[in-house]
Structure 1
Amino acid sequence: MKTSINIRQATKDDLTEVLAIANQWSLGELSDSEAEDGFLVSAFVLEQYEDYLANAEYFYVAEVEGRIEAFLLAYESESIDPSELTNTLLRCNLVESFILIKQICVRRDSSNTKGCAASLYDYIHQQQPDKSNLAAVVLEPLNKRSIKFHERCGFYKLCDITPPADKDGQIRLRGIWYRPPKNNQEHCPALRFQSTVESKVPLDTLNTRQEIASSLYTHEDNLNWTKLGLLVTFMFALATAFNHLMGKSSEELGVVGIFTGIMVIIIGHVIIELFKKKIDSGLNYLQQHKMSVKKLDVLIQAQYPNCPSILNGNKEISGQSATAKGMKWIPLICRVGWWGMTLALIGRLFNLF
């Protein structure tokens, strides 16, 4: 039997339930695996929902068997507060007025939520059949569930926009999806400033750029291992010279031996510092190339959701590898070890102990 969904205007008594549902999808409260099922970036408190209740034109809840299972918060583009930087950029870029979908979500782990979110969208479409609905979906990290849901509900990709940093200091690329007015299904909102958004890039272009970024990553990784191998080779050579000098008495060393020992000490420290800088620089480039692969992967997934993901949202893969982290410590170990050998060699050269 089909579940009966009752949609009505939200009231103050509903806000505690609304807040509880929203908190279930808060990005800050979800693990990486849970975030793959969708999330909310805007984490509101009860007072903010009370403010929206008083000022937002469209604040609806969907009830099943008397319990709130989903809610939708939206308002007219003219009601966008200037402090909402992402939405203000969107309002300034669109020629027409529109309805902004601020939040829509359903209760997690409930068997009665099927169809609730779609019903809320249908309801707002009926209320304002002559206006487009616009929704901003976070692309970094990629909110796949939200993208697929909006496309099922008749939304189309309009553009990408890079807003200022969110409240937590993170800059997150947004994809803007629109649903044309109920009375004009062929309509597409016009943009004032095409340069402020990223148009859809052909898949073959994105794939080519991703291949280049992957090749640069591999090349940089090989260079880093080559640098590390050369450092180890130099350290063996320095250790051999150290062992040779330590095996001689002060009389056997003489002036030439002391001069040679001092040069070995200086050359050792210079080599270690140079290789440390080169390896640190290489690791930074390596991470930048990996981030480029990740960003291109996000763009491909956002524009072509059916295209397989390379990184597949895996935080361990997209972050810094354990070998790269360990590579940073090898020059430091060499530095500490060479300082110990330096002190021992100085003691031998000048017969201090």
Structure 2
Amino acid sequence: MARPRDQALARKGRGATFDPPNRFAPTRRASVDDGWWQEAVPERLATEVAEERARSALAWNRSPDLPFDRSLNPYRGCEHGCIYCYARPSHAYWDLSPGLDFETRLIARHGLVERLEEELAQPRYACRPINLAGNTDAYQPLEAERGTTRRVLALLLDCRHPVTLVTKGALVLRDLDLLEALAERRLVRVMVSLTSLDATLKRVLEPRAAAPGTRLRVIERLSEAGVPTGSLISPVIPGLTDHELERLLSASREAGARDAGWMLLRLPREVAPLFEDWLRHHYPERAARVMSLIRQCRGGRDHDARFGHRMRGQGVFAELLDQRFRQAHRRLAFPGLPPLDTEGFRPPRRQGELFD
């Protein structure tokens, strides 16, 4: 007997196994097998894209844990489908589920470049690096069709505005011409996210992201082109990927990464039950130990949102991870990323202006 779509089921090419309810919805729905259900559950789910007219471009934060105070997200949701993605809960704001909806029901932000141009032209705007994207991957598959990220980069280059990028998508190489031009003016840094060198694990952990070897080649190509590039070992998953920490750092350094960072797995809100169900489906023999180690790093809980703790965790295991990272980072002698230029910024010309 087939099961309803919202019942837990691992689907090929998708990370989440079910759709947890929208936490803002006034009602809850539960699936019950009464013996009459006839509709077959699809093994594959198509990607749907809705349009949103952007009312603003930049998102601002005051988090002491982040190296930037502003970011820009061309899309909502992410087709890469990483089961651990901390951004999944944000999909509830759009009356969608943080589960399968997050990776199959995407939102493209129409008019975003125009809103960014308006905001950069404001008289009181103070130039600081913009992080692209932060709550999604700017180089997910949808970008190949829409091209919003490329238009954003072109505007920032024209304005001499610095930008930082974090991605696990090989599509970033499409924009190598813009990234080279930005790098020549000290206006860009790219961080390539690495989670595991195990291609089998990657296929279920990050089903539609670039393969591990491809991401290393991205680091190599960007570095050879003179684009300051680093690696972000994130997330480190205790009991599942933590044993690869040193190998990931070595592989990224060999590929040309100039610096590296790391972050511990975060399981905010709906991400915790999604991740635990994913473990039971794909790694049932490890599930109990992985969740136990995570809770040891989070004060006995699935998640700790406190500043100063959410990125690194606490306790013996978390401290050991940090020591391992620091020792490997020092041994590999990463030269570091150059500072970005914020002094050369020139605001875009507003409508009616005829001269620079």
Which category describes the TM-score, using the shorter chain as reference length?
A: under 0.3
**In terms of Rg, which structure is larger?**
1
Normalization by structure 1: what TM-score?
0.24
Query: If each structure's helix is expressed as a fraction of its own residues, which one has the higher value?
Result: 1
